[in-house]
Structure 1
Amino acid sequence: MTRKKSLLMLGDSLVEWGDWDTLLPDLAVISRGRAGELCETLSARLFDEIDSVREPDCILLMSGTNNLLMGSPHFTAIFQTLLPRLTLLCGKSTVFVNSILPMTAPGMTKEAVAAVNRELCVTAEGSGCRFLDMTAPFTEQCLPITRPCFLSDGVHLSTLGYQVWAGEIRKCCLAL
C-alpha cells in the first residue's frame, strides 16, 4: 500500500472551513486555518505549526485575504520573510503560495486583487516556492448566478468554490 502524500494547509477561514477530508481524500491533509487570521499572525505562529507536524510533502499558504479586506495591500512584504523561514524549516516540502481568490466582496476590485497576486507570485518564485493562481479556474468554472463559487459575502466559498479550489490543489500536490 502506498502512503498518501501529506499536505499542510496554513491560512485563514477559507482553509479552516474547508471539508478537506471529503474534498481531498487522496491526500493526508493537516488543516491549520484560523478564521480572521492576518499574514502577520500566521508568520508569528509559523514555527509552532511546523514543529507540531511531521514534514509534509506539500505546504499550501492561503493568507492575505483579511489584510486586503482591511485595506492593507502591503501584506505581501510579510511573505518576503515568512517564505525563506518556511523553506529553511521544511526543506523537503514543496511550498505553494495560493493567490488571493477573485473575490467579489464590496469595495474589492479585480485590479486590486490582480496587483496583490502579481506581488505574491514574484515573492513566491523569488523564494523558491510555487505560486498557485486561482484566477483562471474560478473565472472558467464559476458564474455569479448559476454557478457561484462565493457565498453572498463575496469572500467565503460555496461548495462549488471549494471543489474548484480543491481540484487545483490536488493537481499540484499529486503531480510532485
Structure 2
Amino acid sequence: MIKLLMLGDSLVEWGDWEKHLPGAAVINRGIAGEMTEELSARLMDEIEDCPDPDAVLVQSGTNNLLMGYMFFPAIFTTMMQRLRLCYPQTPLILCSLTPMPIVAPQEIEQVNRELVQVATTTENCVFLDLVGPFNEQCLPITQPGFLADQVHLSTRGYQVWAGAISHCLTELFPKRYRG
C-alpha cells in the first residue's frame, strides 16, 4: 500500500480518502481555512511528523484566491523546494485549483499556469490538472462537483479528484499501487 501524505486546506481535510483511495494509506494533513503561507509555515513540522511517505500531494491556494490574493503561487516555489530537499527521492504531486464556479475562470487559469511552472521546475514533481476532469465529469445539474457554496467539493467532486489522484499514483507506482 502506498503511503500518501496529503497537505492542504479543507478540500484535503474533508475528503473521505479511505473510501475514495482504498489503495493508499493517506496521512491527511488538511486544515480548513488555511492559506498557502500558513501551510508553508507548518511544512517542517509536517515533514518531521511524516518522515517517509511514498508520495506527497500538495493542494493549496483556494482560500488565497477567494480572498483576492493572486500572488500565492510564488510561495509554492520555496515550499516545493523544501519538500524536495527533505524528501529527495519522493514523488511530489502539485494539484491545480479546481474550476470553482464562484471564481472567474481566467483567474483560475492564471494561477494554474503559475503552478504548472512551479511543478516543471521542481525535480520529480507531477502537476495534477483537475480542471479537465472536473469539466468533463461534473455536470452542474445531474452530477455537480461542488456544494452550494461553489467552493467545497460534493461527493462527485471527491470521486473525480480521487480518480485523478489514483491515475497519477498508478503511473508513479505501476507495480505497487492498486487503486
Question: Which TM bucket (shorter chain)?
Answer: over 0.9
Q: What are the ranges of 5 or more consecutive residues in structure 1 without an aligned counterpart? A: none
Question: For 2:71, what is the secondary structure of its paired residue?
Answer: helix
User: Could you tell me which residue of structure 2 aligns to residue 103 of structure 1?
Assistant: 100
CA offset at residue 97 of structure 1?
Answer: 0.6
Residue 145 of structure 1 is aligned with which of 141, 156, 162? Answer: 141
Residue 158 of structure 2 is aligned with which of 141, 149, 162? Answer: 162
User: Could you tell me which residue of structure 2 aligns to residue 42 of structure 1?
Assistant: 39
Aligned length: 171
CA offset at residue 57 of structure 1?
Answer: 1.1
Q: TM-score, normalised by structure 2?
A: 0.94
Aligned AA for 2:104?
Answer: T
User: Could you tell me which residue of structure 2 aligns to residue 21 of structure 1?
Assistant: 18
Does residue 115 of structure 1 match 2:114? no
Does residue 31 of structure 1 match 2:32? no
User: Could you tell me which residue of structure 2 aligns to residue 84 of structure 1?
Assistant: 81
CA offset at residue 87 of structure 1?
Answer: 0.5
Q: TM-score, normalised by structure 1?
A: 0.95
Question: CA-to-partner distance for each residue in 1:52-109, whole Å, 9 max, x for gaps?
Answer: 013111111000010000000100010111111110001121001100000012xx10
Q: Is the 8 A contact 1:143 1:149 kept in 2?
A: yes
Q: Is the 8 A contact 1:5 1:174 kept in 2?
A: no
User: Could you tell me which residue of structure 2 aligns to residue 66 of structure 1?
Assistant: 63
CA offset at residue 174 of structure 1?
Answer: 2.5
Find the aligned partners of 1:28 and 1:80 in 2 and give their Cα distance: 27
Q: What are the ranges of 5 or more consecutive residues in structure 2 without an aligned counterpart? A: 173-179
Question: CA-to-partner distance for each residue in 1:94-153, whole Å, 9 max, x for gaps?
Answer: 001100000012xx1011101100000011111122110001100100111111000011
Instruction: Indicate the percent of aligned positions where both proteins have the same amino acid.
Output: 55
Question: CA-to-partner distance for each residue in 1:9-38, whole Å, 9 max, x for gaps?
Answer: 000000000000111011111000000010
Tell me whether 52-61 or 82-91 shows the greater mean CA deviation.
52-61
Find the aligned partners of 2:60 and 2:138 in 1 and give their Cα distance: 22
